[in-house]
């Protein structure tokens, strides 16, 4: 790989490169970025010339990335994350608390728990702009894809400021409509006679859980989804019995806890941010608001 002298690639070229990688065409990338198709095409041509590489194979149905493009992708994505983090940091300078804070949280936490906390935060600091990403990846903060993360596990990476909020209990719940039609299971074994809601793909946590409760093995489930939010929606719709945070279920009188004494899990809840943001006023007030709001949520548990 070599760069043509005097023609150092600029960020816009890499941005267009990522756009075409993600969309597969010049026109779709242009629409996503607010650029014209010829402009995106010139960016790709310029980047290929500057790097001395062929990045895409043109075909009748779009642009197919070459091996070189696949190898460059994580570096271009890193540039994008750094550029976005730079803009967020710059937005927070000046008088008062203002600027953009990018948060990441799991689906259920981000959709069901954080909105009222963030609404209160914004009411107190109207100059803040909140970006929320529904993700549970462990490396979001180190790659600068977010400023603050809410996680149901302790982030172990160095260079992070972490705070434990508390334990959130998880239990088995079903809609009263489902229980009226199918009855209430008296034992864990009786779950085999019910429609059970669970995960499609397995990970270490799910495998340990399934060893404790074999009824939640994948082949015994009546509804499978890797989305926590989809599982919660299925419980609320009366599909069957599934796992739900106890404090969240308690907000809806129609959701009934079953097998309370036989099944209970506690998930540690943590807030984390990159240590480089320790001195950022916008991140400090957001971190504090999340800690206070999530602690109050933990205390709601029945």
Ordered by where they begin, the domains of the chain are 11-89 (1.10.10.10), 90-165+268-299 (3.40.190.10), 167-266 (3.40.190.10)
User: Which of 111, 104, 151 shows the shortest CA–CA distance to 130?
Assistant: 104
Average pLDDT score over residue span 276-281: 82
CA 298 to chain centre: 20
Q: pLDDT tens, 65-77?
A: 899 889 888 888 8
Examine the pLDDT at 1 and tell me if it is beyond 50: no
- The per-residue DSSP string of 243-262 comes to EEEHHHHTT-TTEEEESTTT
Q: What is the mean pLDDT of residues 195-211?
A: 78
Q: Which two tokens stand for residue 204?
A: 């270490």
Check residues 100 and 115 and name the one with the higher pLDDT: 115
Q: Are 88 and 147 in contact (CB under 8 A)?
A: yes
**Span 261-277, mean pLDDT?**
87
List, for residues 214-229, the tens digit of each pLDDT value.
777 888 899 999 899 9
Whose CA is closest to 256, among 268, 241, 271, 270? Answer: 241
Task: Give φ, ψ of 258 to 5 degrees.
Answer: -125, 150
pLDDT in tens, 102-135: 999 999 999 999 999 999 999 999 999 999 989 8
Count of C-beta atoms within a 10 Å radius of residue 98: 16
- Check residue 277 and give its pLDDT: 81
Q: What is the largest CA-CA distance in the chain?
A: 75
Residue 270: predicted pLDDT:
92
- Asked whether residue 94 carries a pLDDT value surpassing 70, the answer given is no
Give the pLDDT mean for 279-298: 91
Q: What is the mean pLDDT of the chain?
A: 86
CA distance 79 to 85: 10
Structure confidence at residue 24 as a pLDDT band (50, 70, 90):
confident
Which residue, among 204, 203, 216, has the nearest Cα to 172 in the 3D structure? 216
pLDDT given for residue 92 in this prediction: 60
Q: Residue 62: what pLDDT?
A: 76
Summarised one tens digit per residue, pLDDT across range 128-144 is 999 998 987 765 665 67
Q: Cα–Cα distance between 105 and 132 in angstroms, integer? A: 8
């Amino acid at each position: 790989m070599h760069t043509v002298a005097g023609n150092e690639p600029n960020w816009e070229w890499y941005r267009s490169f990522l756009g075409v990688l993600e969309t597969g065409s010049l026109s779709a990338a242009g629409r996503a970025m607010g650029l014209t198709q010829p402009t995106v095409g010139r960016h790709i041509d310029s980047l290929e010339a500057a790097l001395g590489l062929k990045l895409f194979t043109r075909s009748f149905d779009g642009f197919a990335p070459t091996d070189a493009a696949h190898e460059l992708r994580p570096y271009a994505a890193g540039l994008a994350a750094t550029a976005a983090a730079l803009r967020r940091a710059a937005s927070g300078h000046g008088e008062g608390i203002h600027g953009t804070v990018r948060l990441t949280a799991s689906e259920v936490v981000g959709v069901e728990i954080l909105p009222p906390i963030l609404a209160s935060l914004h009411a107190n600091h109207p100059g803040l702009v909140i970006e929320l990403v529904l993700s549970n990846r462990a490396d979001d903060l180190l790659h600068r894809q977010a400023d603050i993360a809410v996680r149901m596990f302790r982030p172990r990476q160095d260079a992070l400021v972490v705070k434990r909020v508390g334990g959130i209990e998880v239990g088995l719940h079903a809609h009263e409509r489902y229980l009226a039609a199918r009855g209430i299971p008296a034992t864990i074994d009786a779950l085999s006679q019910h429609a059970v809601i669970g995960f499609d793909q397995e990970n270490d946590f799910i495998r340990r859980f399934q060893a404790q409760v074999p009824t939640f093995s994948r082949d015994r489930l009546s509804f499978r989804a890797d989305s926590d939010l989809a599982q919660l929606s299925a419980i609320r719709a009366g599909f069957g019995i599934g796992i739900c945070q106890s404090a969240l279920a308690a907000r809806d009188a129609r959701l009934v806890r079953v097998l309370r004494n036989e099944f209970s899990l506690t998930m540690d809840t943590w807030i984390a941010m990159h240590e480089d943001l320790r001195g950022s006023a916008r991140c400090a007030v957001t971190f504090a608001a999340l800690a206070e709001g999530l602690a109050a949520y933990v205390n709601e548990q029945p």
